[in-house]
Amino acid sequence: MTDTKFKRLPGETEEEYCYRIYELKDALELQWHEIADIINNELDWRYGSDRYRKNYSKHVKEQLEEEFNCIPNLEESDINASNYAETILA
């Protein structure tokens, strides 16, 4: 995948880059192993897809906690880009 949308932007931190790529996952129907390949290739890292999936879940949870001031009884496995809104509204 050499698409320019996967390239790190000038001035973009590693963390910002990862979060930007995470946000592309659902829109481009990517799997976590593809996300890992993209990030690993761009940043010369060697992590597995689980690291990125868990990091994204943590990021989403932190965003929700900031927005709603608390998220009761959520597990990392309950949060992903397609179901986190349903989880907090349930």
- Give 10-residue mean pLDDT values along the chain (90 residues): 86 96 94 97 97 93 80 55 54
Q: pTM of the prediction?
A: 0.71
Burial 45-71 (b: 16+ CB within 10 A, else e): eeeebeebbebbbebbbeebeeeeeeb
The reported pLDDT for the residue numbered 17 is 97
pLDDT in tens, 35-60: 999 999 999 999 999 999 999 999 88
The reported pLDDT for the residue numbered 18 is 96
